[in-house]
């Protein structure tokens, strides 16, 4: 089932109101401040030089010199990767983001779901989200590098890894049989920019670039991404804030009788007595959260971004 967070239209249609706090995603609600954009970002086709500056900034941010392709969000990468080779046997470490399986199956792959790294071995293509969505489970880089030698190709989705750089395989992505996905919009809070990156070997990135075409990302996305990815001071301060806010959210959830399952610095997953009832309670206060079709008690919340949002959430949980 291709269900997602961010379905705020559904919340509004069901409960009414317009002043919603959307905590159904893992998008930073205190976003990077938009820089002024040059006119040519809007009026001209993106240049090779502008794209090169974006990739250089991303390489520094991700601590990698591997070949890299900028695409219109990690979702675009997920949809491109199944076309790299003829459909065969894929395995996905689950539970996780459901678009990996959906994209593979749409491209003709047999995509089986497994629950351990060992069970991924022998697949023609294996997918690991690290840290994982929705439970935050993570795997050490050495374990994933070992796995990469035992599968045809390993895809590691690092959409939520910005605050945990030691987990990242981006520095190793030039090795054969490894592709690393990075999301820009989640950590920087600018999901509407639609920007992400694929890191991998020369051959894989060249093939993906051919499929993506000459202008896979827009001029405004290139300009915004270059500025944000170059601002390491903002990134470091944001990591510190997000870690403190994650601990704050855990305390609020605990006061409501919820138990922490796991999470990242951008979202938390809780075991509740009844996720549907908990989501409806918060929705009556126009706060939207994420539940999952495979788990009745699990409820995932993104982190509020402003003091007023924290106050509203605290009041709703105590209602």
What is the domain-level CATH number for residue 83? 3.40.640.10
SS (H, E, C) 79-129: HHHHHHCCCCEEEEECCCCCHHHHHHHHCCCEEEEECCCHHHCCCCEEEEE
CB 174 within 8 Å of CB 155: no
In a shared domain, residues 240 and 312:
yes
C-beta contacts of 245-253 below 8 A and 24+ residues apart: 245/303, 245/304, 246/303, 248/310, 249/301, 249/303, 249/304, 252/313, 252/314, 252/317, 253/301, 253/317
131 and 144 part of one domain: yes
267 and 205 in one domain? no
> Does 215 lie in the same domain as 250?
no
Confidence band, pLDDT 50/70/90 cuts, at residue 82: very high
Number of domains in the chain: 2
Domain termination residue (choose one: 176, 207, 230): 230
**pLDDT value at 1 more than 70:** no
Identify whether 152 is part of a domain: yes
When pLDDT is averaged across residues 188-200 and rounded to a whole number, the result is 98
Residue 119 shares a structural domain with residue 20: no
288 shares its domain with 307: yes
Both 44 and 21 in one domain: the answer is no
pLDDT tens-digit map of 212-269: 999 999 999 999 999 999 999 999 999 999 999 999 999 999 999 999 999 999 999 9
Residue 2 has pLDDT above 80, yes or no: no
Q: What is the mean pLDDT of the chain?
A: 97
Tokens of 220: 């405004």
Residues 115, 294: Cα–Cα separation, whole Å: 14
What domain range is 298 assigned to?
8-31+233-318
- In tens, the pLDDT along 277-296 reads 999 999 999 999 999 999 99
Tell whether 252 and 190 lie within a shared domain.
no
CB 176 within 8 A of CB 170: no
- Is 3 a residue whose pLDDT tops 90? no
User: What are 266's two structure tokens?
Assistant: 């951008």
Q: Is the pTM of this model over 0.95?
A: yes
Report yes or no on 91 lying in a domain.
yes
At residue 319, the pLDDT reads 87
Co-location of 102 and 174 in the same domain: yes
- SS3 assignment for 234-268: HHHHHHHHHHHHHHHHHHHHHHCCCEEEEECCCEE
Question: Which single residue is written with the structure tokens 């219109």?
Answer: 72
Say if residue 88 is in the same domain as residue 169: yes
Closest Cα partner for 126 from 90, 77, 84? 90
pLDDT for the residue 231: 98
In a domain, 3, yes or no: no
Percentage of residues in the chain with pLDDT exceeding 70?
Answer: 100
The arithmetic mean of pLDDT across residues 69-82, rounded, is 98
């Amino acid at each position: 089932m291709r269900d997602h967070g961010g379905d705020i239209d559904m919340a509004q249609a069901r409960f009414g109101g317009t002043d919603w706090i959307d905590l159904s995603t893992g998008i930073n609600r205190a976003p990077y401040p938009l820089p002024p954009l040059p006119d040519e970002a809007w009026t001209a086709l993106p240049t090779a030089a502008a794209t090169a500056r974006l990739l250089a900034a991303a390489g520094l941010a991700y601590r990698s010199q591997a070949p890299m392709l900028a695409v219109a969000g990690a979702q675009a990468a997920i949809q491109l990767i199944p076309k790299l080779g003829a459909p065969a046997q894929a395995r996905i470490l689950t539970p996780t983001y459901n678009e990996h399986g959906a994209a593979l199956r749409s491209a003709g792959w047999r995509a089986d779901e497994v629950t351990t790294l060992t069970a991924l071995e022998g697949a023609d293509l294996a997918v690991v989200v690290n840290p994982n969505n929705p439970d935050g489970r993570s795997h050490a880089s050495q374990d994933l590098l070992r796995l990469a030698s035992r599968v045809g190709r390993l895809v590691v989705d690092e959409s939520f890894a910005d605050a945990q750089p030691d987990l990242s395989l981006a520095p190793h992505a030039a090795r054969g049989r490894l592709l690393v996905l990075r999301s820009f919009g989640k950590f920087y809070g600018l999901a509407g920019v639609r920007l992400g990156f694929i890191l991998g070997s020369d051959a894989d990135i060249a093939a993906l670039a051919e499929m993506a075409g000459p202008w896979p990302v827009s001029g405004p996305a290139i300009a915004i991404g270059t500025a944000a990815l170059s601002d390491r001071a903002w990134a470091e301060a944001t990591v510190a804030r997000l870690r403190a806010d994650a601990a704050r959210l855990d305390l609020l959830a605990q006061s409501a009788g919820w138990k922490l399952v796991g999470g990242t610095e951008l979202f938390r997953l809780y075991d509740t007595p009844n996720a549907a009832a908990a989501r409806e309670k918060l929705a009556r206060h126009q706060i939207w959260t994420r539940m999952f079709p495979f788990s009745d008690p699990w409820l995932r919340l993104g982190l509020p971004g402003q003091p007023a949002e924290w106050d509203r959430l605290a009041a709703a949980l105590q209602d």
